Amino acid sequence: MIVKRILFKLALLLSVLVISYLVFSRPSYSQAIPYLDKIGHLSSFFCLSLLTYLAFKPKWSVLIVIMAGYALLIEIVQSYLPYRSAELADWIADMAGVGLFYLMLWGVQRLRVTLRSDTQ
């Protein structure tokens, strides 16, 4: 279990580094697909929430504050970059990713309870 936690912490660190690089670098992807940016925000914060949960098992309120703070930091930094812009919609997409993670976690926990009660 300790080895898993260490691996999740390393994966979280790598994810934060990669995501930070992507959100602070000059965009090089095609913007022909509508809302691709928002999908990226949502999926990034879903993954960050999952890895944070697996690495540290924080209380839900702590995880939400951390994710909201990191999302806000991203938008503040982007507001100072000439090739980026800060958008409330990006922050909302980030928080939707966190919410989607908790919805998935709730579903998995309900499924486990149901499966346990069915086998008894």
pLDDT tens over the chain, length 120 residues: 789 999 999 999 999 999 999 999 988 766 778 888 899 999 999 999 999 999 999 999 999 999 999 999 999 999 999 999 999 999 999 999 999 999 999 999 999 998 888 777
The pTM is what? 0.91
- pLDDT score, position 34: 83
Chain center to CA of 37: 14
- Distance CA(39)–CA(8), nearest Å, equals 23
- Distance CA(66)–CA(49), nearest Å, equals 9
Amino acid sitting at position 13: L
| pLDDT tens digits, one per residue of 27-38 | 876 677 888 889
- Distance CA(85)–CA(106), nearest Å, equals 34
